[in-house]
Homo-oligomer: A and B are copies of this chain.
Amino acid sequence: MSTTQSPRSDTRARIIEVALELFAAQGYEKTSLREIADRLGVTKAALYYHFKTKDDIVHGIVESMAAPIDEAISWGRDRTWSPQMRDELVRRFAAGMADRAPLLRFFHENQPALRDSAAGSEFKDRMLAMIGLIQGPGATFRERLRATVALFSINSALFLLKQDHVEPGEDCPAGARTEQPSLAEAMQAAVELALEIASGIEPAAAGTGA
């Protein structure tokens, strides 16, 4: 169990990196394999050496980046629900996503493209699993909704950050804005809000369990 990720090939890793970057920035459908290949200085055919299909690249992305979530999930599976465990799950999710902003954004903004994709489901299933663990056993719809909104608030923070970054030469149209916080500050705020929202979750069956 060395720290070194076995680099099946450097190119493979670079493909994943560049693909995620482009998918997040422009969307899955709007990003063509040619574009990815060009950025890497290889041919489209080279991509097909490493991945069977475009969708398979998404699979590769998930595989290579979902580790923190998977760990959080299996951590959660081994425990019975409690408010502390609930909060810990929220924190772990946030921590896992903090340096993977593009991943979250990509999956959030490309639902239609990923809907009938095997790889797309892999990630959504993880999200649903997280929601399930956070809401706890025997939760009401209200509680399930809280769990969902709590997780999405992480994403909303990233959305705001992107949104309020006014490009030089643009005017700032609608409504007042706030001073821009750093990514770290934004995540901090998001986690706090998420925990507050989650704090309303207190499922009936919780005490029952163990």
A133 at the interface (CB under 8 A from B): yes
Number of copies: 4
Partner of A145, one of B30, B156, B177: B156
Q: Which residues of B contact A190 (CB under 8 A)?
A: 145
Given contacts A141-B189, A145-B156, A175 and B109 within 8 Å (CB-CB): no
Q: Can you name the residue of chain B whose Cβ is closest to the Cβ of A109? A: B111
A44 CB → nearest B CB, Å: 11
Interface centre among A125, A174, A192 (most CB of B within 10 A): A174
B160 and A144 within 8 A (CB): yes
Give the secondary structure class of A's interface. Answer: helix
In-complex Cβ contact of A189 among B112, B142, B152, B156 (8 A):
B142
Fill in one digit per residue for A51-86: 1 if any B CB lies within 8 Å of its CB, else 0.
Answer: 000000000000000000000000000000000000
A145 x B128 contact (CB < 8 A): no
Interface residues on A, range: 35 or more
Taking the closest CB of chain B, its distance from the CB of A116, in whole angstroms, is 9
Contacts A128-B173, A142-B193 known; list 4 others, CB within 8 Å.
A30-B112, A141-B178, A152-B152, A197-B197
A156 to B179, CA, bound (A): 27
